[in-house]
């Protein structure tokens, strides 16, 4: 190890991150409860500190020298010793397009000793929109339910009922509890007419695109399964396409 590498373990340093199209390019991990015991880091006592758990290659954080395992002492001049995970996340988000971090690097072995097994902050500003469309829908043969035709990159990948969109939203909320989930089109208790189905189709397409625009979300397992080619159901359907004037044309 060179002397310059050893130097980063001696003193805290301040870095400024400017958000790019991939966000700030780092994830944070740490305790979810406030306070805690002091620990010795680099020969000094600190309260529990959130730490950098991952750094995006070529991202904003990597460019200014942020490394996995770095301890976060301040966010935008706010001391965060003993702070909760959500408190630090909120400070990062409040920074807008630029944040200042005071960090302390620790050797890999030291990082293993210090890292708590707590919740993780994901950089939800890292967005990579998918090409998702729902151009049509199908009625079951008995008319008891409707499935919406989900296309990815202009290829049909799945037929999904409204309840499956609801289930996907719930799964994503459990995986990412601090992620703001866009609202789904409202549930309708009675049989929907063509105009109402058209409104729901448009709403579901917008909802899915907004939700899956966040990179960490569209890489999640529930999304992979939702967009998985499954051939749909083996029941017979009456398929409809939506014409430019909003009318619906049955396709045999």
Domain locations in the chain?
3-121, 132-251
pLDDT digit string (tens) for the chain, length 252 residues = 444 456 677 799 999 999 998 889 998 988 878 888 898 888 889 999 999 988 888 899 999 999 988 999 999 999 999 998 889 988 998 999 999 999 999 876 676 677 655 455 577 877 888 899 999 998 888 878 899 999 999 999 999 999 999 999 999 988 887 788 999 998 877 788 889 899 999 999 999 999 999 888 888 888 988 998 754 433 334 444 545 554 444 544
Residue 41, SS3 per DSSP:
strand
Pairing mode, strands 237-242 and 248-251: antiparallel
Question: For 41-46, which contacts have Cβ atoms below 8 Å and span 24 or more sequence positions?
Answer: 41/71, 41/104, 41/106, 41/110, 41/114, 42/9, 42/10, 42/11, 42/104, 42/106, 46/71, 46/73, 46/81
Looking at residue 112, what is its pLDDT? 62
Residue 31, SS3 per DSSP:
coil
Looking at residue 231, what is its pLDDT? 42
Question: Which CATH architecture group holds 132-251?
Answer: 2-Layer Sandwich (3.30)
Looking at residue 115, what is its pLDDT? 64
132-251 matches 3-121 in CATH topology: no
Q: Which CATH number fits domain 3-121: 3.90.1150.10, 3.30.2130.10, 2.30.42.10, 2.130.10.30?
A: 2.30.42.10
Looking at residue 190, what is its pLDDT? 76
Q: Contact at 8 Å (CB) between 214 and 179?
A: yes
Residue (of 192, 32, 187, 197) closest to 117 by Cα position? 32
Q: Please tell me the distance from the alpha carbon of residue 155 to that of residue 152, in angstroms, as a whole number.
A: 5
Looking at residue 9, what is its pLDDT? 76
Q: Please tell me the distance from the alpha carbon of residue 47 to that of residue 110, in angstroms, as a whole number.
A: 16
How many other C-beta atoms lie within 10 A of the C-beta of residue 83? Answer: 24
Looking at residue 121, what is its pLDDT? 59
Instruction: Give residues with Cβ within 8 angstroms of 117, minimum separation 6.
Output: none
- pTM for this predicted structure: 0.53
Instruction: Give residues with Cβ within 8 angstroms of 243, minimum separation 6.
Output: 249
Q: How far is CA 12 from CA 42, 58, 61, 75, 198, in A?
A: 10, 23, 16, 13, 57
């Amino acid at each position: 190890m060179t002397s310059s590498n050893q130097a980063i373990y001696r003193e805290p340093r301040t870095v400024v991150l400017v958000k790019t199209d991939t966000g700030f390019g780092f994830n944070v991990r740490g305790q979810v409860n406030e306070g805690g015991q002091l620990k010795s880091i680099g020969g000094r006592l600190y309260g529990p500190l959130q730490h950098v758990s991952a750094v995006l290659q070529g991202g904003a954080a990597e460019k200014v020298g942020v490394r996995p395992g770095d301890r976060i002492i301040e966010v935008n001049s706010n001391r965060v010793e003993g702070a909760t995970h959500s408190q630090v996340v909120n400070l990062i988000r409040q920074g807008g397009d630029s944040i200042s971090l005071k960090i302390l690097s620790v050797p890999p072995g030291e990082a293993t000793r210090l890292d708590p097994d707590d919740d993780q902050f994901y950089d939800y500003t890292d967005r990579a929109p998918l090409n998702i469309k729902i151009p049509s829908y199908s009625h079951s043969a008995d008319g008891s339910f409707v499935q919406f035709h989900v296309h990815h990159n202009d290829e049909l990948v799945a037929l999904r009922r409204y309840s499956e969109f609801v289930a996907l939203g719930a799964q994503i909320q459990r995986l990412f509890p601090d992620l703001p989930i866009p609202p789904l089109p409202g549930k309708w208790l009675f049989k929907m007419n063509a105009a109402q189905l058209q409104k729901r189709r448009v709403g579901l397409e917008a909802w899915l695109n907004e939700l899956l625009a966040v990179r960490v979300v569209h890489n999640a397992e529930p999304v992979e399964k939702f967009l998985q080619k499954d051939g749909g159901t083996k029941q017979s359907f009456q398929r409809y396409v939506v014409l430019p004037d909003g009318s619906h044309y049955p396709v045999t």
